[in-house]
Structure 1
Amino acid sequence: MTLQRKITYRMYPNASELDALERWRGLHCRVTNTLIEEHRRRHEAGEKAYSFSAMCKDLTAWRGYVDALRDLNAQSLQVTAKRVALSFDAFFRRLKSGDAPGYPRFKALQRFGGWGYKTYGDGWKLLQPEGQHGKVRLSGIGTIRIRGKGRFSGTPKTAEVMCKGGTWTLSVTYEVAQEALSRQRGSEAAAFDWGLDKLLTIAKADGTLEPVDNPRWLKSKLDAIKALQRTVSAEEAKAQLGLAADAPLKKGQRLPVTAKLKRLYAQVRALHGKVARQRHDFYHKLTAELVKRFAFLGTEALAVNNMSCAPKAKHDPDQPGAFLPNGAAAKAGLNRSILDAAPSMLLGMLRAKAAEAASVFALADTRKVKPTQRCHRCGALVKKELNDRVHRCACGCECDRDENAAKTLLRWMLEGDFWPGTGQTGSAFMAEWPSETPPIAG
Structure 2
Amino acid sequence: MRTIDLRGRRLSPADMLAAVPRAAQARAEALETAARIVDDVRTGGEAALRDQAERFDRVTGHDIRVPEAHIAEALAALTPQIRTALEEAIRRVRQASAAQVPETRVTQIGDGALITQRWQPVNRVGVYIPGGKAVYPSSVIMNVVPAQVAGVTEIALASPPQADQGGRVHPVILAAAGLLGITEIYAMGGAGAIGAFAWGVSDLDLDPVDVISGPGNNYVASAKRAVAGVVGTDSEAGATEILIVADSSANARLVAADLVSQAEHDEQASAVLVTDDADLAQRVAVEVSARAETSLHRERIGVALSGPQSAIVLVDDRAMAAAFSNAYAPEHLELHLEDAQEAAAAFTSAGAIFVGEQTPVSLGDYMAGSNHVLPTGGQARYAPGLGAYTYLRPQQVISYDHAALAAVREGIVALSNVEVLPAHGEAVEARFQEDAQGTATL
TM-score by length of 1: 0.20
TM-score by length of 2: 0.20
Q: Which has the higher contact order (CA 8 A, sep 6+)?
A: 2
Larger proportion of strand: 1
Larger proportion of helix: 2
